[in-house]
Amino acid sequence: MKGKSKYWNKISQPLIFLVICLIPIIQSCQEPDPFPITPQIQFNNIQYIELLENGNPDSLILYFDFQDGDGDLGLEGYENGSPYQDYNFYLDYDSIPITYNQTNIKYPIRIYDPVKDKLTIVGSQDIRPSYDCINYDILYMDYINKEYLAPGTNPDDVDPNIYDLDTIFLERNRYRNNIEVKYYRKRGTNNYEEIDWRYLTSEYGCGISFDGRFPILDAEQMNDSGSLEGTIRYAMVSTGFRTVLRKDTFNIKFQIIDRSLHISDIAETGDITLDQIIR
């Protein structure tokens, strides 16, 4: 059986499994004046690798340069504790997770805030939206011990006397990832429309996201709080790039988050097409 976790203390699986793979390239820095502790990033290059074979995914490879004053960059897939857990659960007055079909909610509704490390009141009335895969997930819940099982747990391994399968109202924790990537299609001289990949193959937003994790870049530098700079190569894999992006002009914006939850500024590729960056 996969691991069980407290309501606000788990990332279910390494996030690389979605469609994201990555390879960091780093070099240590011995600058006399340290960089800011908030990571700094700058676009370097992007390449498109098209395989032209049925069923095999293509790759968009993003290269960006970074600087970080204390070197605390990277998350491993097994790091499940707060503030890197998958979910922030919406809880009722008794700290019980709220479900999609629940009718007897005891107010106020609260949610765990990983930045403040505390429960915060978010509503005194029903704030549940319609069903989608962004605000809900189907989980095996142990309401007695306030635990849940990771998605993907084999049902044959679940004790039905302990766990209930419920659709839980939740928030996808932003800090479970350390890189966020958004695509924008150009719709005029200065107009751009976001391409939300999660809704391209599912009306409920159950599709892929190119947000993810890159691993710890330099554990020694991080332990010594030493500054770090280098280049990260981040490969996004999909069979849909050519179908979705076609010959359109698009732009990719991205930012990273360090282990202390400092968020970098947004960097971007500028206007590109697949044919311009094909390798």
Q: Are residues 96 and 142 in the same domain?
A: yes
Instruction: Please choose, from the candidates 184, 199, 194, 185, the residue with its C-alpha nearest in 3D space to the C-alpha of residue 248.
Output: 185
Residue 131 C-beta-side C-alpha neighbours within 13 Å: 10
* Region for residue 155 given its phi and psi (left: phi exceeds 0; alpha: psi -120 to 50; beta: otherwise): alpha
Domain that residue 168 falls in:
87-172
Q: Which two tokens stand for residue 111?
A: 């949610």
Q: Sorting pLDDT into bands at 50, 70 and 90, what band is 11?
A: very low
Q: Are residues 46 and 164 in the same domain?
A: no
Whether 82 is covered by a domain: the verdict is no
Whether 242 is covered by a domain: the verdict is yes
Instruction: Please choose, from the candidates 10, 18, 17, 16, the residue with its C-alpha nearest in 3D space to the C-alpha of residue 139.
Output: 10
Q: What is the mean pLDDT of residues 33-54?
A: 90
State residue 2's pLDDT score: 57
Whether 196 is covered by a domain: the verdict is yes
Whether 260 is covered by a domain: the verdict is yes
pLDDT in tens, 56-99: 899 999 999 999 998 999 999 889 888 998 899 999 999 999 99
Whether 187 is covered by a domain: the verdict is yes
Question: Looking at the 3D structure of the chain, how many domains does it have?
Answer: 2
Q: What is the mean pLDDT of residues 18-46?
A: 67
Q: Give the count of beta carbons closer than 10 Å to the beta carbon of residue 77.
A: 13
Whether 6 is covered by a domain: the verdict is no
Instruction: Please choose, from the candidates 162, 97, 101, the residue with its C-alpha nearest in 3D space to the C-alpha of residue 131.
Output: 101
Last residue of a domain, one of 172, 188, 218: 172
Instruction: Please give the residue that has the higher pLDDT: either 81 or 16.
Output: 81
pLDDT in tens, 208-255: 999 999 999 887 767 677 889 999 999 999 999 999 999 999 999 999
Q: Sorting pLDDT into bands at 50, 70 and 90, what band is 176?
A: very high
Q: Are residues 96 and 49 in the same domain?
A: no
Q: Sorting pLDDT into bands at 50, 70 and 90, what band is 1?
A: low
pLDDT in tens, 93-129: 999 999 999 999 999 999 988 777 889 999 999 999 9
